[in-house]
Amino acid sequence: MAKVVNFFKDCAHELKLVVWPTKDQVWSSVRVVVVSTIIVSIVLGALDLGFTALFRLLMK
């Protein structure tokens, strides 16, 4: 039981040592993720449309 208590005490201590990002850093990261997701979605959508058109031409 003492090991479990020590584990949680160590966890709490380590969490106090964490350097958390600022609000601006978080929003900057969120923007990067959203823009990247949009760009990848557009590229994949264009590839899907292109391959669909190509296969339709090949199947005729």
Q: What pLDDT digit, counting tens, does each position of 6-52 carry?
A: 999 999 999 999 999 999 999 999 999 999 999 999 999 999 999 99
Q: What is the rounded CA–CA span in Å between residue 10 and residue 12? A: 5
What sections of the chain are H helices per DSSP?
2-17, 23-59
Name the domain count of the chain: 1
In a domain, 27, yes or no: yes
SS3 at position 21: coil
pTM of the model: 0.69
Residue 54: give the domain boundaries.
21-60
In a domain, 12, yes or no: no
In a domain, 37, yes or no: yes
In a domain, 39, yes or no: yes
Is residue 60 pLDDT above 90, yes or no?
no
In a domain, 9, yes or no: no
In a domain, 1, yes or no: no
Q: What is the pLDDT of residue 27?
A: 98
SS3 at position 1: coil
